[in-house]
């Protein structure tokens, strides 16, 4: 009985360890410099500004998703500051932003809140 218990414990440990994620291999976790310097106001009511570091590649894009995953905006980075007007499609709640490179990898992400 003890061997069976030990075998099940070892098998369970191996299965659980196979699901552990190594975040060091993802873009954004290997580079400690932030590309997005800040966003304001948070919580936002009618607009939100995103300010970027000068080193941000012009091939990057900023994508905004609502909390259920619907893409709200996809904006190519052309300037060091971008303003998004929060029209009637933006309801009160949490939104996720993602800064992506040309190949679609996430460079940086975060969340902001809309209060209307």
What pLDDT digit, counting tens, does each position of 71-87 carry? 999 999 999 999 999 99
- Residue 21 domain-assigned? no
Q: How many domains does the chain have?
A: 1
Give the chain as a 3 state SS string.
Answer: CHHHHHHHHHHHHHHHHCCCCCHHHCCCCCCCCCCEEEEECCCECCEEEEEECCCCCCCCEEEEEECCCCEEEEEECCCCEEEEECCCCCCCEEEEEEEECCCCCEEEEEEEEECC
- Residue 9 domain-assigned? no
- Residue 18 domain-assigned? no
pTM exceeding 0.75: no
- Residue 20 domain-assigned? no
- Residue 5 domain-assigned? no
Q: For 31-78, write each residue's pLDDT tens digit.
A: 446 777 899 999 999 999 999 988 888 889 999 999 999 999 999 999
What residues make up the domain containing 40? 32-114
């Amino acid at each position: 009985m003890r061997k069976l218990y030990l075998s099940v414990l070892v098998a369970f440990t191996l299965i659980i360890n196979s699901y552990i994620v190594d975040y060091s291999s993802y873009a954004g976790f290997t580079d400690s410099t932030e590309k997005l310097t800040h966003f304001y106001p948070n919580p936002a009511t009618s607009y939100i500004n995103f300010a970027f570091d000068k080193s941000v590649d012009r091939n990057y894009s900023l994508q905004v998703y609502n909390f259920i995953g619907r893409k709200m905006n996809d904006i190519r980075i052309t300037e060091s500051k971008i303003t998004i007007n929060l029209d009637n499609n933006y309801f009160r709640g949490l939104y996720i932003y993602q800064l992506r490179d040309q190949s679609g990898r996430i460079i940086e992400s975060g969340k902001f809140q809309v209060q209307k």
